[in-house]
Each structure stands twice: as C-alpha cells, then as structure tokens.
C-alpha cells in the first residue's frame, strides 16, 4: 500500500519519496516492521492466551522438562502470521502474482493450523483436526499454486538472457522485475535501466515453462515434460504441467508436515525456518535479477524479485517470534504457526523453481520426517514378523531421540540450528558448484 502512495508522491516530485523505488529499502523496512510487530504484539497476545487459559497439552510427559511446558500458551502462530502479512501489505507490490500467491498461502495454511489448534484447545479433542482434512487442505493449496503458475501470463521463464553492454553487476538493484513500459528503478546512484530496455537489447524470450533447477548439475535446468517422453506437442506440454502439479502437491504436503513434526522443542522449528526463509530470499533475489542470473548462469524469472520483500518479512517474523519462543518458551506456535511456516517455505521454493533444493535446504525437516517414517515402518514390520514391535530410535521425531539420550534441550536446538545454517550455505553454494 505504501509503495503505491510513495510512487504517487514521487511522481509529484516530493523529495525522498523515490526511496520506495528501491527493493533494498522496502526489504529492510519489511524486516524491521515484522520484527517490531512480533515483539510488540507478542507480549500482549501471550498475556491474553494465559488469561484465557489457552495452553498446550503435552503428551510426552516422560521426557525431561516437559512438565514445565504443560499449560504454556499455544496458538502463537498468530503472531507470525500477523508479522508477515502486515509488512507485505505495506511495502510489497500487491499487483504481483507471486506476492498474491504467497499471501493466499499464508492465510490458507494458517486457517488449517488454526482450526487444528482450536479443536485441540477449545473442543478438548487432543487429536485436533482429522489428518485427512489437513491433507485435503494442503492438496487444495497445491492445486491453487500449480493452476496459478499454469494459467497466469505473468508467470514466465526468460531464456537466452544476454544483458546489454555496459550494464554491470553493480546495478543489480535496478534489474529486479520492473514490467516493460514502466519507469526505471533507482540503484543507489549507479546506472539505471528498465526491463523494457533490457528486452530490446538482449536475445531473451519469455516463455511458459515447467522447467526447474537441479542442484550440483552443470546444465542445471530440468523440465518436468521430460518425464512424459511418449507425448508430443501440446499434449506433452499439458502432461508436463500435470506432472508439475503432482510435484507441487507433494512438496506442499511434505514440507508443511515436516515443519509440524520439527516443532517439538523450544525454538527449533522457528530458528530453522528463519534460516530457510533468509536463504530463499537470497535465491529469489538472484533469480529475479537479470544481471546476477546471467552471471551465475541460472534461470531468470521476471517479476520474482518482489518476493525478496516477503522473505524479509518472513525472516523478521520468525526471528521476532523467537524472542518469546526460545528456551524456556513463553509461547508455542502450535499448528497455526508450524503448518504456516512449512506451507510458506514449500510454495516459495516452488515459485522460484528451487523445489528440488528442498532436501538440502530443509534437511532438518526432511530428516525429522524420515525418522518418523522409519520408526513407524520398522515398528509395524517387526511386529508382524516377530510379534513385538521394535524401534530404530529411542523416540521419534529425531530431536526426541537425543532428549532420551540425555542431551539438554538448548544443546539439541542449537546444534540443529548450526546444521541448518550449514545446509543453507550449501544451498547457496549450489549456484556455483556444478
């Protein structure tokens, strides 16, 4: 909203109004605003939840420190959602299809998580929302995302990008996603170019595509239509989108539930999500910048740069929430927060065409989910074979295994954060190591 106001003021020649043309300025403003919102409303919401006795019921009371958590306020994910949406609405361009998609994602999965928490807390049903309804909701979101990417004319991939002579990497801030025919963006006193000029002087062509990025591969583009080699022409294109749609649904369900499983220790899911969000913001910036995309030889995605503002708000919201969620937690995010964080990370990775990077970037979530699947699968198999179920881990998800081994909760969380940071660095490094 403020973006449009200051663009109008800039057109009137109001001094200083042009600062909103800078992606870097709006991203910084989004981070600061989301941090302030999370920290300011967090305390009041925690007090409200305590007064209404909206507390967490802990199932695994045999674990060390769990009695302390009994009754801790839950549904703190509301803080995260508000801290994301308000800065995005204030500082982002609301006509950008990717921003619209991320706002829908935040509200959609937030409502699924809120419904689950509401049933658990107010209806006194420990099972919460039935699993099948969660999955249906996540599949619905996957369909919305996939169909939007298929239908929208603003969702394109630019191929054969050759930037005009004289344009340097230093003018990066000007190269993000300005539609053809609009005014040039400022670049902290460097050269100014609009996308229209870049299009005229380059060999780039915007196309609808089911291409994505494969990490550690030299020619790192993979097209989902390659999975249907038997098809030809428009049929192949359509089937490629159907395969892509199936992949979108799988990623949304897997990552959303992965974060939900990780949310078992104070600050664990919050901290790892913050790391993932910051990394996705970096990947969105270079993917939406014609100069950096060409320099790194990666897929250039017009209009995607605006997502840097969403990533900034996401990072600020998670770090701000961590102020209250770090050990010993004053509030839990509940499914309202965990499902929202997972859904946002999944959809964000999909729209910037980095979903195949998720096993690396979201390695913590992946391993936590895998530990549960292995534990359950092995228990069922050994029970059928030996009449007694056996376990691989002392307890699943994996973080509880380390609790059972006697590790202190803050030590487990800190080490998981360190691993998440290493995986994030590795994810960024994949841009060059191929």
Q: Tell me, letter by letter, the H, E, C secondary structure of the chain.
A: CHHHHHHHHHHCCCCCHHHHHCHHHHHHHHHHHHHHHHHHHHHHHHHHHHHCCCECCCCCCCCCCHHHHCCCECCCHHHHHHHHHHHHHHHCCCCCHHHHHHHHHHHHHHHHHHHHHHHHHCCCCCCCCCHHHHHHHHHHHHHHHHHHHHHCCCCCEEECCCCCCCCCHHHHHHCECCCCCCCCCCCCCCCCCCHHHHHHHCCCEEECCCEEECCCCCCCEEEHHHHCCCCCHHHHHHHHHHHHHHHHHHHHHHHHHHHHHHCCCCCHHHHHHHHHHHHHHHHHHHHCEHHHHHHHCCCECCCHHHHHHHHHHHHHHHHHHHHHHCCCCCCCCHHHHHHHHHHHHHHHHHHCCCHHHHHHHCHHHHHHHHHHHHHHHHHHHHHHHHCCCCCCCCCCCHHHHHHHCCCCHHHHHHHHHHHHHHHHHHHHHCCCCC
Whether the bond into 104 is cis, omega within 30 of 0: no
- Residue 360's CB is within 10 A of a number of other CB atoms, namely 18
**What would the mean pLDDT of 12-35 be, rounded to a whole number?**
89
- Does 203 have pLDDT greater than 90? no
Q: What is the CA radius of gyration of the chain?
A: 23
pLDDT at 44: 87
pTM for this one? 0.88
Distance CA 409, CA 268 (A): 10
Confidence of residue 349 (pLDDT cuts 50, 70, 90): very high
- Does 63 have pLDDT greater than 80? no
pLDDT at 186: 34
- Does 183 have pLDDT greater than 70? no
Confidence of residue 344 (pLDDT cuts 50, 70, 90): very high
Confidence of residue 197 (pLDDT cuts 50, 70, 90): very low
Closest Cα to residue 288, out of 339, 228, 351? Answer: 351
**What would the mean pLDDT of 65-82 be, rounded to a whole number?**
80
Burial class (CB in 10 A: 0-12, 13-18, 19+), 236: middle
pLDDT tens-place string over residues 399-414? 999 999 999 999 999 9
Are the C-beta atoms of residues 98 and 280 closer than 8 Å to each other?
Answer: no
Map out the domains of the chain as residue ranges: 2-429
Angle at 267 between CA 261 and CA 271, to 5 degrees: 90
What whole-number percentage of the chain has pLDDT above 90? 59
Higher pLDDT, 311 or 387: 311
Q: Looking up tokens 């159907």, which residue turns up?
A: 242
- Does 67 have pLDDT greater than 60? no
Rounded to a whole number, what is the largest CA-CA distance in the chain? Answer: 80
**What would the mean pLDDT of 121-131 be, rounded to a whole number?**
85
Confidence of residue 3 (pLDDT cuts 50, 70, 90): confident
Higher pLDDT, 110 or 182: 110
Residues in the chain: 434
pLDDT at 176: 41
Bridge partners (DSSP) of residue 158 are 206, 300
The whole-chain average pLDDT of the chain stands at 85
pLDDT tens-place string over residues 245-285? 999 999 999 999 999 999 989 999 999 999 999 999 999 99
Residue 366: partners with Cβ closer than 8 Å, 6 or more residues away: 258, 358, 359
């Amino acid at each position: 909203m403020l973006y449009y106001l200051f663009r109008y003021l800039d057109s009137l020649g109001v001094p200083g109004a042009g600062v909103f043309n800078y992606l870097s300025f709006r991203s910084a403003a989004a981070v600061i605003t989301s941090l302030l919102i999370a920290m300011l409303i967090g305390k009041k919401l925690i007090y409200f939840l305590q007064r209404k006795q909206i507390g967490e019921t802990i199932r695994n009371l045999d674990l060390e420190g769990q009695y302390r958590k009994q009754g801790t306020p839950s549904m703190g994910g509301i803080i995260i959602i508000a801290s994301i949406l308000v800065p995005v609405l204030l500082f982002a361009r609301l006509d950008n299809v990717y921003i619209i998609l991320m706002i829908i994602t935040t509200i959609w999965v937030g409502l699924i998580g809120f419904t689950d928490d509401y049933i658990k807390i107010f209806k006194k049903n420990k099972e919460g929302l039935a699993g099948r309804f969660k999955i249906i909701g996540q599949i619905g979101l996957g369909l919305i995302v996939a169909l939007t990417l298929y239908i929208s004319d603003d969702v394109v991939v630019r191929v054969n990008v050759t930037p005009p002579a004289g344009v340097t990497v230093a003018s990066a801030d000007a190269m993000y996603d300005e539609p053809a025919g609009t005014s040039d963006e400022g670049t902290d006193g460097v050269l100014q170019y609009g996308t229209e000029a870049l299009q005229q002087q380059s060999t780039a062509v915007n196309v609808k595509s089911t291409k994505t990025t494969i990490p550690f591969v030299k020619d790192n583009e993979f097209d989902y239509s390659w999975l249907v080699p038997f098809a030809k022409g428009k049929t192949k294109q359509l089937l490629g989108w159907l395969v892509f749609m199936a992949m979108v649904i799988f990623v949304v369900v897997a990552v959303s539930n992965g974060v939900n499983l990780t949310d078992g220790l104070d600050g664990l899911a919050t901290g790892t999500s913050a790391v993932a969000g910051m990394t996705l913001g970096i990947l969105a910036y270079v993917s939406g910048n014609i100069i950096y995309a060409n320099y790194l030889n990666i897929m250039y995605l017009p209009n995607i740069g605006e997502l840097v503002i969403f990533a900034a708000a996401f990072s600020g919201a998670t770090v701000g929430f961590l102020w209250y969620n770090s050990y010993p937690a004053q509030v839990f995010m509940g499914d309202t927060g965990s499902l929202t964080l997972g859904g946002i990370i999944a959809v964000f990775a999909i729209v910037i065409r980095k979903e195949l990077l998720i096993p690396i970037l979201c390695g913590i979530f992946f391993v936590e989910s895998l530990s549960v699947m292995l534990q359950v699968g092995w228990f069922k198999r050994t029970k059928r074979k030996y009449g007694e179920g056996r376990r691989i881990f002392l307890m699943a998800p994996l973080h509880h295994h380390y609790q059972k081994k006697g590790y202190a909760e803050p030590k487990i969380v800190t080490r998981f954060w360190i691993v998440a940071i290493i995986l994030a660095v590795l994810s960024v490094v994949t841009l060059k190591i191929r």
